[in-house]
Copies of this chain bind each other. A is one copy, B any other.
Amino acid sequence: MLTFKSNKSCVSDEQFSNIWPEVLKAHGELENQTGKGSEFTGWLKIPHAIVSNELEGIHEAASRIKKQSKVLLVIGIGGSYLGSLAALDALQNNYSQFRTVTNEGVEVLFAGHTLSSAYHQKLYSYLENKDFSINVISKSGTTTEPAIAFRLFKSLLEKKYSEEEVKTRIYATTDGHKGALKQLSLHKGYTTFTIPDDIGGRFSVLTAVGLLPLAAGGIDIDSLLKGAADGAELYASPTQDNPCYRYAAYRNSLYRSGKAIEILVNYEPSLNPTSEWWKQLYGESEGKDGLGIFPTSMSFSTDLHSLGQYVQDGVRHLFETVLTIKADKTPLTLFSQADDLDQLNYLEGMTLEQVNAEANRGTQLAHMDGGVPILEIELAEMTPYTYGLMLYFFMKACGISGYMLGVNPFDQPGVEAYKKNMFALLGKEGYESLRKELLARL
């Protein structure tokens, strides 16, 4: 269902053989919990672990949300929303220009990931006349962005519904024991779900963090988990035919040969949020200690008429990883017309997906001729099962790849720097001396 492709012009057999021992070492560190940050590798087992824990509660909550609401507002930032947004858009073919709601679930909207005033006000107006529920997702409950959004939209719930009803409309996904949101939830009686202590945000899509919004949105999360569980088995063995380990090996080999930028390419714009999820996963895991491939993304053929020129012919410091979906879920057959001024009649009888597939093949050849190494990850079809498999593929490859790079792929120390400065500039208690220091610099 998932195939990893590459060609020898990217990475030679010799380069691959040279780097393979490092894959084995990384495999050992990850499996034996001896690598850096091993206390955050709970995601390795999650497709199995989640079943016995919270899955039933998630299904029940999703049913309740579908009965009581038209919209689920998910409040979270970073790993607390990117995974569910990515999977929803990929599996329901949502596009930034216009979104549709399926019969199987509620509309899922997101807040808590931006400080934009206009965004909050537009969303507030939109929700004023709609029945909605909130899933607030935060380990601590004190992260500024989601905490502000939660205050605002909780106040809207309180305006619309009785105190008793409000508490049935709020679902908190948070720490199992401590923290502001856990405390509040216990006090108010919200339904809660747990963010496990051994799983960081960007690896949490297969926990309640991702699963509750997805289930409410109408995604078959059991199939998603089955795909991920099968991925855990498929990508377990330290053998050279393991596509997940090959991907980790190839990208590290390319990085060492001077390829500083990896472009995740799709030919289907509803995969754009999947690229955003992937960018957090790799950028936050590897971008530290002055190291790491810079992860970015493009959607072709759209961006072939934008950054395509650069990819074809600019600085040769980049490579592509193309995410291809093979099967045609929604065929649309092209037709001829009486006049052929636009010269398209030769496409008569082909489906649009076939044209898109040839654009993909033609572009790969053109970019290879331009000196761009190309890796390809092909999914046989886009279903919850294959999507779950792909999520596990990318997470496992990321763990291996980060260890090969020599960093701790499971921490994110650099995220604290802006927060501290922001607290100081806003005048938060405890940051007085930093405040003085920063104001002197401004």
Assess A145 versus B342: contact at CB under 8 Å? Given A118-B329, A260-B317: no
Which B residues touch A288, using CB under 8 A? 309-310, 313-314
Residue with the highest number of chain B CB atoms closer than 10 Å, among A317, A342, A367, A418: A418
- A113/B305 in contact, CB under 8 A: yes
Assess A294 versus B314: contact at CB under 8 Å? Given A268-B118, A344-B144: yes
Mark the stretch among A246-254, A356-364, A383-391 that contacts chain B: A356-364
Which B residues touch A269, using CB under 8 A? 114, 116, 119
Q: Does A330 contact B (CB under 8 A)?
A: yes
- B418/A118 in contact, CB under 8 A: no
Assess A283 versus B309: contact at CB under 8 Å? Given A117-B351, A330-B121, A370-B417: yes
- B116/A365 in contact, CB under 8 A: no
Q: How many residues of A contact B (CB 8 A)?
A: 130
Assess A119 versus B93: contact at CB under 8 Å? Given A151-B337, A317-B294, A417-B370: yes
- B428/A366 in contact, CB under 8 A: no
Which B residues touch A184, using CB under 8 A? 339, 341-342
Q: Does A55 contact B (CB under 8 A)?
A: no
Which parts of A75-121 form the interface with B (CB within 8 Å)? 77-79, 82, 93, 95-100, 109-110, 113-121
Q: Does A295 contact B (CB under 8 A)?
A: yes
- A309/B356 in contact, CB under 8 A: no
Which parts of A230-270 form the interface with B (CB within 8 Å)? 260-261, 267-270
User: Given known contacts A117-B353, A308-B418, A346-B426, what 14 new A-B pairs fall within 8 Å (CB)?
Assistant: A95-B122, A96-B96, A100-B122, A114-B301, A116-B268, A289-B313, A291-B314, A308-B414, A309-B412, A311-B414, A362-B425, A362-B438, A366-B418, A369-B417
Can you name 26 A-B pairs with beta carbons within 8 Å?
A: A79-B305, A95-B122, A98-B123, A115-B301, A117-B331, A118-B268, A119-B269, A145-B301, A180-B343, A183-B341, A261-B261, A261-B294, A283-B306, A283-B310, A284-B308, A288-B310, A292-B315, A294-B314, A294-B318, A295-B310, A308-B414, A312-B415, A355-B422, A359-B422, A362-B423, A367-B417
